[in-house]
Amino acid sequence: MPSSSIDHAIAEGPLTGAAGDPTYAGVTSFMRRKYSKDPAGADVAVLGIPFDAAVSNRPGARFGPQAIRRASAIMDNDPQYPFANDLFADLAVIDAGDVLLDYGNHAETPARIEAAARAVIAAGAFVLALGGDHFVTWPLLKAHAAAHGPLALIQFDAHQDTWPDDGNRIDHGSFVGRAARDGIIDPDRSIQIGIRTHAPATCGIEIIDAHRLEDMRATEIAEAIYARVGGGKAYITFDIDCLDPAFAPGTGTPVAGGPSSAKMLGTLMHLKNLQLVGADVVEVAPAYDHADITAIAGATVAMHYLGLLAARKAAG
């Protein structure tokens, strides 16, 4: 039975509480959250970053935020599995729309993304970013490190993203090495999960490669993450190409031999005790997708972040 209201994203009302829009209609924000450019009073701000000029293979991730939002409409605010409750009963979440980027001036892109994230952080809200290619994580990390100091990076990815970098490149394959070198992340507390390509350097970051991952249960992966990260502040970045192309074909640089969405979502579910300060999901490129498989996976990763934050708030 549909509710008596529609277009929850732009209707009057509080930031908390479930929506009742039909899955096939209504204004499509992320999980029907209120659209607002003002993060004051929000626990979380969902921030779209429609940028894909840093890719080394197939472009198209600039359409990722739109696709993820659209896919999230199927999450109609019933209790979300596996969290078994209304994520928005007490967690105030807004969709802050997209960062405005000049497609003809990419040199300005990092600063614009960083400034948008800093504004959300300064307002006391958690940044949940929807990419965009993986370069967007660089300015997001800078914004968070400015507020919290060097971060533990938890990176779900098929690629290490540690290729040589001159400090000025706009490149989705080198930003992790730059972040390690510049003290934005702490390599000794950072970990990469799902890697199945080679790069010249590890930068001291622990790697759980795809072959090792295949033999691990989700609980074991989570234990390895806790052992590496410890109790310090952490940032999660989830490149959707961490998943095998069977589960995420719509991405710019797919690599066969990866994990299932079930295993990686199960891992995320067990990370509720992390001191998580920011998160993103990137590299969803809907032009290469089939039946929204990849967009649904990306939206579900983002929903799991919200589930962790809702559980943390409920626990006090």
pLDDT exceeds 90 at position 249: yes
Tokens of 179: 């972040």
Question: Which residues, in sequence order, are bridge partners of residue 34?
Answer: 94
What 3-state DSSP class applies to 267? helix
Question: Which residues, in sequence order, are bridge partners of residue 45?
Answer: 94, 127
pLDDT exceeds 50 at position 213: yes
> Is 144 assigned a ligand-binding role in the annotation?
no
**DSSP 8-class letter at 136:** G
> Is 172 assigned a ligand-binding role in the annotation?
no
**DSSP 8-class letter at 167:** S
Q: How far apart are CA 207 and CA 202, in angstroms?
A: 8
- DSSP letters for 274-313: SEEEEEEEE---GGG-STTHHHHHHHHHHHHHHHHHHHHH
| Whether 308 contacts 276, CB under 8 Å | yes
Tokens of 230: 């410890």
Mean pLDDT calculated for residue range 90-101: 97
**pLDDT band, very low/low/confident/very high, at 181 (cuts 50, 70, 90):** very high
Nearest to 302 by CA among 59, 135, 127: 127
Place of tokens 């579910």: 269
Tokens of 276: 């998580």
Reported pTM: 0.96
Give every CB contact of residue 200 below 8 A, 6+ residues apart in sequence.
162, 163, 164
* Integer CA distances (angstroms), 299 to 31, 46, 287, 304, in order: 9, 12, 16, 9
Q: How far is C-alpha 178 from the chain's CA centre?
A: 20
Question: Which residues, in sequence order, are bridge partners of residue 279?
Answer: 128, 236
Sheet of 44-49: strand order equals 34-35, 93-98, 44-49, 126-131, 275-282, 233-239, 152-156, 191-195, 206-209
Give the per-residue pLDDT at 1: 46
Nearest to 272 by CA among 82, 66, 73, 53: 82
Phi, psi of 220 (to 5 degrees): -70, -35
Give the per-residue pLDDT at 20: 84
Nearest to 127 by CA among 108, 107, 106, 113: 113
Mind listing the domains of the chain with CATH numbers? 30-314 (3.40.800.10)
Q: How far is C-alpha 268 from the chain's CA centre?
A: 12
> Is 244 assigned a ligand-binding role in the annotation?
no
pLDDT digits (tens, 9 = 90+) for 254-297: 999 999 999 999 999 999 999 999 999 999 999 999 999 999 99
> Is 241 assigned a ligand-binding role in the annotation?
yes
| Whether 83 contacts 28, CB under 8 Å | no
The residue that leads in pLDDT, 199 or 78, is: 199
Mean pLDDT calculated for residue range 215-232: 97
**pLDDT band, very low/low/confident/very high, at 2 (cuts 50, 70, 90):** low
| Whether 281 contacts 298, CB under 8 Å | yes
Mean pLDDT calculated for residue range 106-134: 97
If 0-12 CB within 10 Å is exposed, 13-18 middle and 19+ buried, where does residue 221 land? Answer: buried
Mean pLDDT calculated for residue range 32-58: 97
Mean pLDDT calculated for residue range 56-67: 97
